Amino acid sequence: MALVDCTLIDSGLPLTINLGKDVIWVDEWDWTGVPQQVRLAIDGTAIVETLSPQSATQPITLKCGWQSKATVDQLVTMRDRTDQTVMDLTLPDGRTKEVLFEHHKQPPIDVSPVVEMPSYDEPESPDWFDVVIHLFDAVGI
C-alpha cells in the first residue's frame, strides 16, 4: 500500500496543513465503541449502564514527528479558533475522518523543540519540533 501525506483541512479558515507520511495514530486500538457509565448504589453495588455507541467519540492522537515552525504556527491558528468547525483529516493509509481538537481533556497540541533555542525566529535556527496532536472523531456529534 502506498502512503499518502497526512493532511488536516479546516475549511472555515480555509487552511490545509500537510503533516507528511510519517504520522502515527498512537491510540487507534485503545478505544472501544461500547461506552459504559458505572456508578455505585447506596449499598456499594456497581450499576453498569451501556450507553449508545453514537455517544462515544474515538480519540485520535497523532504523533507527527518533526514539523517546521511554520506548520506549528498553522496548527496553533487552527487550535485557537473560538468558532471551531469540523476538520477533515486524511491519514497516511488514505482513510479520512471528520475531527475536532480535543480541548476538553488535555492541551490539543503538544510541541517540543528538537533543539532548544532561546529564539526560533532566526533564519539559521533549526526550527524543527516534535508534534503530537490530540483530536477526536466528530462523527455522531
pLDDT tens per residue, range 6-53 = 999 999 889 999 999 999 999 999 887 777 888 999 999 989 888 776
Average pLDDT, the chain: 87
Q: What is the largest CA-CA distance in the chain?
A: 66
Over the stretch 74-99, which tens digit does the pLDDT of each residue have? Answer: 999 999 998 888 999 999 999 999 99
11 falls within a domain: yes
What is the pairing mode between strands 46-50 and 87-90? unpaired
1 falls within a domain: no
101 falls within a domain: yes
For residue 18, what are the domain limits? 6-137
37 falls within a domain: yes
- Total domains, the chain: 1
- pTM listed for this prediction: 0.82
